[in-house]
Amino acid sequence: MTQAIYLDYNATAPMRPEARDAMVAALSVTGNPSSVHGFGRAARRLVEDGREAVAALVGVTPAQIVFTSGGTEANAMALAGLAAAGRRILVSAIEHPSVLAAAVTEQVPVLADGRIDLAALEAALAGSAQPAVISLMAANNETGVIQPVAEAAALARRHHALLHCDAVQAAGKIEVGFDALGADLLSLSAHKIGGPPGIGALVLREGVVVPPLIRGGGQERSRRGGTENVPGIVGFGAAATAAQSGLAAFAGLAAWRDELENRVQEACPSATIFGRSAPRLPNTSCIAMPGVPAETQLMGFDLAGFAVSSGSACSSGKVAASHVLKAMGAANHQMGSAIRASLGWDTREPEIAAFAAAWDSLHRRAGASAAA
Ligand code: PLP
């Protein structure tokens, strides 16, 4: 095996050199951003420059950004806070576990193509006079399916509800405009866009107040206590700037992803490609190889030098039935044989051709051993 080929960007993206270099420099800066002396002011400048860059990625003002420890905390802060404030939490059935577990939620189904059922959402909103918040992701981590967030936000407004959008997978991959989406709250994570893990942000519409999850200290305008993660914020900002200028190149990944899917379907017409009929992120492909368990594929691809994920496990490494594919109406045998390949800023075209060949070879070998 030569060097492994990394096709698991939706789990975490390799760090962009711009982010790494900026972080290395920031590690030499001493100072607490809350200190008034020159050291503190230098650290504060780094934090505020990072905030500006992250704000620019989603078209908001820096004051709307609250830095968190990642996407999970941003989702928890948004939803646990609003639930505690007495709101009903309506979420799509395909949200990330950090949304599903953030509060007591009511789930809204999705259609077979992976997009939220807007009619069901409207009926759920109309079903109660309790003020609600809708949580709808911008794009799904397993299938890449892009959700109709602006349409859901219009429904939210009609029913005096708020809209939270988990944009962790979409930001830096496609254009994500906070106002264009009509969001009131939006979650981001640095490590999905080539920044470091352990830093993210919750973006708030002006006037939207969420009780802090972490209290103490007046940091982040008293919205999130704790000394700021200065190098993390610096890396996040640098990654946000690089991702934004790389959006056009990222869109080009769709051609390679389509080429992969076409080759897979030529090799095996009964392979399922989830969400293919819906708008998707340019980089994500979730494919079921008929008759071959996802675990077997993951091991086979790993041995052949390819890093991919099972459709379900973005966090734990375990292979469990995917709630996303299940919500889309996938059969058990399809769910059990789905893997996700996700491309990114450092993916090269020959890597995709090599993966398509490896897919074909694993499929043939599995067929041969089943026949033996
Ligand atoms: N939301 C989505 C859609 C994700 O894919 C992830 C990634 O695991 C998260 C939230 C959690 O982000 P983080 O790893 O920064 O906590």
Residues paired with 299 in a beta bridge: none
The contacts of residue 287 (CB under 8 Å, 6+ apart) are 261, 264, 271, 272, 273, 274, 338, 339, 340, 341, 359
What does the pLDDT read at residue 366? 86
Rounded to two decimals, the pTM is 0.96
If DSSP codes are grouped into helix, strand and coil, which group holds residue 107? strand
Q: Out of 99, 141, 312, give the residue to mutate to test ligand 1, the one with the largest number of ligand atoms within 8 Å of its CB.
A: 141
Residues paired with 89 in a beta bridge: 133
Q: Contact 298/359 with Cβ under 8 angstroms?
A: no
> Residue 183 above 80 pLDDT?
yes
* Residue 314 annotated among the catalytic residues of the structure: yes
Report how far residue 123's alpha carbon sits from residue 273's, in angstroms, rounded to the nearest whole number: 30
C-alpha torsion sign, points 50, 82, 75, 122 = negative
> Residue 134 above 60 pLDDT?
yes
Whose CA is closest to atom 13 on ligand 1?
Answer: 71
With a 6 Å cutoff on the Cβ, whether 314 touches ligand 1 is yes
> Residue 1 above 90 pLDDT?
no
> Residue 93 above 60 pLDDT?
yes
What does the pLDDT read at residue 105? 85
Length of the chain: 372
What does the pLDDT read at residue 320? 73
- Long-range contacts, stretch 188-192, CB < 8 angstroms, 24+ apart: 188/54, 188/57, 188/58, 188/71, 188/74, 189/70, 189/71, 189/74, 190/19, 190/70, 190/232, 190/235, 190/236, 190/239, 190/240, 191/12, 191/13, 191/70, 192/9, 192/10, 192/12, 192/13, 192/71, 192/168
Listed residue (352, 141, 191) closest to 262, CA to CA: 352
Angle subtended at Cα 141 by Cα 346 and Cα 233, rounded to the nearest 5 degrees: 60
Report how far residue 331's alpha carbon sits from residue 270's, in angstroms, rounded to the nearest whole number: 13
Residue 146, H or E segment: none
Kindly give the number of the ligand 1 atom that is closest to the alpha carbon of 75. 10
Share of the chain above pLDDT 90, in %: 93
What one-letter code names the amino acid at 318?
K
Q: Contact 101/89 with Cβ under 8 angstroms?
A: no
Mean pLDDT of the chain: 95
If DSSP codes are grouped into helix, strand and coil, which group holds residue 102? coil
- Neighbouring CB atoms inside 10 A of 41's CB total 12
With a 6 Å cutoff on the Cβ, whether 137 touches ligand 1 is yes
With a 6 Å cutoff on the Cβ, whether 334 touches ligand 1 is no
Residues paired with 88 in a beta bridge: 132
> Residue 314 above 50 pLDDT?
no
Residue with tokens 């492909």: 285
C-alpha torsion sign, points 345, 351, 357, 363 = negative
CA of 356 to the centre of ligand 1 (A): 27
pLDDT tens for residues 231-276?
999 999 999 999 999 999 999 999 999 999 999 999 999 999 999 9
CA of 189 to the centre of ligand 1 (A): 7
pLDDT band of residue 317 (cuts 50, 70, 90) is low
> Residue 349 above 70 pLDDT?
yes
What one-letter code names the amino acid at 87?
R
Torsion angles phi and psi, residue 47, rounded to 5 = -65, -45
With a 6 Å cutoff on the Cβ, whether 169 touches ligand 1 is yes
pLDDT band of residue 372 (cuts 50, 70, 90) is low
Residues paired with 66 in a beta bridge: 202
Q: Contact 194/215 with Cβ under 8 angstroms?
A: no
With a 6 Å cutoff on the Cβ, whether 142 touches ligand 1 is no
> Residue 353 above 70 pLDDT?
yes
